[in-house]
Structure 1
Amino acid sequence: MARLSVIILNWNGKQHLDGCLESLALQSFRDFETVLFDNGSTDGSAEYVRERFPWVRLVAVPQNLGFAGGNNRAFDECQGEFIVTLNNDTKVSPDFLSELVAAAEADPKIGMVAAKMLNFYQPGRIDSAGVKVAANGMGYNVGVGETDVGQYDTPTEVFGPCAGAALYRRAMLDEVGFFDDDFFAYYEDLDLAWRGRLAGWRAVSAPGAVVLHVHSATSGKMSPFTVYHVHRNKWFVLVKNWPASLLGRHLFRILCFDLGALALAVLRHRAGAALRARWDVVRSLPLLLQKRKEVAALRRLTPPELAALLQPANSAVATFARKARE
């Protein structure tokens, strides 16, 4: 039985598969299996993998189950003690897996490990060195857009990993569950990180696990699809996971940032997607409140301990002005 299972989700990403799978084949860590889950591709991806990469276990379904649903189905096929989620539009360094495993083995309470993701087209620019949560309710990629000068090369505690290149300990997933199918795409990794942290699991970075990533290759930057799921799922995370004391303390700031996000969507001609997202949050409240009870049962950390994990938020007005100029 393989010690580690790599899950690669694919949806019409045939053009990325050579780079991703060939880099996996060169890993210094050898005790792993690869499960490629094809989410109803129509570009011949499944046939291509079956013919060119026979060592990959291919699971193909006729419809797109989303990032969350696809990974959950693939997880059912996995045997490993550790589960690595990896985007199809990536190339990984030869020590990618060994660095992730070494970081996890440092402490049995480490349930999540974040890789160091760099921009595929500008390898000197950081895509993600982990995920952080701010007091405005938003999740952010650590270091995104920054020039890589080694500022994130020391392993450190993070709130959670970006699921585009992350390791999860199976023992943690057995306790808190994997991704929430209802998210479909976006923020599902932050939701999982919240559940893990609430249950007392740690998350750390592994800067030696380097990944080149073509950001938004599948969904498109600021498409209506992206706007809808980001705006909706941010509220899904808040309602499901934030303790009442934290929500009460930061609600005004959260609402100010949400108003700014809605205004930006209007400026970018995405008002319909943004409004539909909020309406669907309201419609989903009964289900979200039931999930909130289930998440609360996992909680091991106190509200002050959770509050210490939040990062300060910038001014909502300044953030809106900066993004409006982008």
Structure 2
Amino acid sequence: MIDAPAAEADATPPAPAPIPPTFLPEAAKAAEPVVSVLVVSYNTRSMTIACIASVIEQTSVPYELIVLDNASPDGSAQAIAEAFPDLRLIASPENHGFAVGNNVASAGARGKYVLLLNPDTLVLDHAIDRIVGFAERTPEALIWGGRTLNGDRTLNPASVFGRITLWSLFCRTSGLALVFRKSPLFNPEEMGAWQRDDERPVDIVQGSFFLIRRDLWERLGGFDPTFVMYGEEQDLCLRAAALGARPRMTPEAEIVHFHGASSRRAAREIMTLRANVTVVKRHLPAWQRSLGVLLLEAWPWSRMASGGLLARLTGRQGLAEAAEMWGTVWRARADWREGYPPLPHPARKD
């Protein structure tokens, strides 16, 4: 996913009290659904149930809801089945991960559109109706995103972002993106200070709230399973753009996205860099790829060096801890600088 700095982990919502079984409304039983909503969960039982309930409460457009549970050990599949007896639930015996999980869940989708929705989200104010309406008004986009809020209802700008380029990597490594964070020129991946408060074209839509024409999704073969963790929506959007897609974002469709603290920051940055290297090798022009990887390799070193210097000058413990974290990432570069090894994918020509 995005390598731009994301909001720190939010407090997860409280576990809901026991509820009686909820049966799907007529909108979710349409013979010809307009949108297929896919939710892939792992160990997020209470949050997934809250997410499903928000879809049911807030959605009027004809839809189908497909939930795939990735062999959660917390009893998610059973709890979801008990809470929503007529829900289409795929209880996978193995953990497919996010990318493959969505591919499996989408296999029988019937909607004109496919909507990927994270299990740790809540749909606000008819957001699915709104994003489908936006898609109908802007059919040329083929991929659409909305506005994402953190658990405290502050903006999470990572719902959409700019593609990785040689310039964006130079700005990262040189520190320009950090110093001029509000500048779209020097911080193009985060798109500067834009508050995601108006409709506009974007390069990448994050997978937590991601609408795509089903025929395009199928033509692309869904997500590339090479991307084990992070980067899958970057790859998909860039492959779609090569086929003519022009992703767009609307602020009228809002969700809340609660961020779990499931991985340590150094481990998360290592996984993100591995995905970014794969994106660079696959989507930058051939003559730029080696330099792009070198800039990615230099980025954690530059964060370690600058953070360490500032920590010594200011005595701030937080800066010292951040510098140490980036040092851990830098020292582990052998684990990520080659990117992901490719896996077979029908839509990719290796």
TM-score (normalised: structure 1):
0.76
**Partner in structure 2 of residue 308 of structure 1:** none
Q: Which runs of 5+ in 1 are unaligned?
A: 296-326
Mapping for residues 106-185 of structure 1, pairs under 5 Å: 106-120=137-151, 122-136=152-166, 140=189, 151-185=195-229
1:237 aligns with 2:273: no
**Partner in structure 2 of residue 261 of structure 1:** 300
Q: 1:218 Cα shift?
A: 6.4
What is the rounded CA distance, in whole Å, between the counterparts of 2:203 and 2:107 in structure 1? Answer: 26
1:18 aligns with 2:49: yes
What is the rounded CA distance, in whole Å, between the counterparts of 1:95 and 1:70 in structure 2? Answer: 25
- Worse overlay, 91-100 or 122-131: 122-131
**Number of aligned residues:** 280
Q: What is the identity, as a one-letter code, of the residue corresponding to 2:155?
A: R
What is the rounded CA distance, in whole Å, between the counterparts of 1:260 and 1:292 in structure 2? Answer: 32
Q: What is the identity, as a one-letter code, of the residue corresponding to 2:111?
A: G
Q: 1:140 Cα shift?
A: 4.2
**Partner in structure 1 of residue 15 of structure 2:** none
> Residues 95 and 4 (structure 1 numbering): CA distance in 2 closer, same or farther, change over 3 Å?
same
Deviating above 6 A after TM superposition, structure 1's stretches of 4 or more consecutive aligned residues are 288-293
Q: Deviations over 1:92-139 (max 9, x none)?
A: 11321111112211233221101101111x212324341211424669
Q: What is the identity, as a one-letter code, of the residue corresponding to 1:222?
A: R
Q: 1:294 Cα shift?
A: 2.6
Provide the alpha-carbon RMSD of the alignment: 2.9
Q: 1:173 Cα shift?
A: 1.5
2:231 to 187, 190, 196: 187
What is the rounded CA distance, in whole Å, between the counterparts of 1:71 and 1:273 in structure 2? Answer: 30
Aligned-pair identity in percent equals 26
Q: 1:262 Cα shift?
A: 5.4
Q: Secondary structure at the match of 1:83?
A: strand
Q: Deviations over 1:26-67 (max 9, x none)?
A: 124331111111111000000000000124211111221111
1:36 aligns with 2:36: no
> Residues 289 and 32 (structure 1 numbering): CA distance in 2 closer, same or farther, change over 3 Å?
closer
1:51 aligns with 2:82: yes
- The structure with the largest alpha-carbon Rg is 2
What is the rounded CA distance, in whole Å, between the counterparts of 1:151 and 1:70 in structure 2? Answer: 31
> Residues 85 and 289 (structure 1 numbering): CA distance in 2 closer, same or farther, change over 3 Å?
closer
TM-score (normalised: structure 2):
0.72
> Residues 183 and 253 (structure 1 numbering): CA distance in 2 closer, same or farther, change over 3 Å?
closer
1:74 aligns with 2:105: yes
Q: Which runs of 5+ in 2 are unaligned?
A: 1-31, 170-187, 305-322
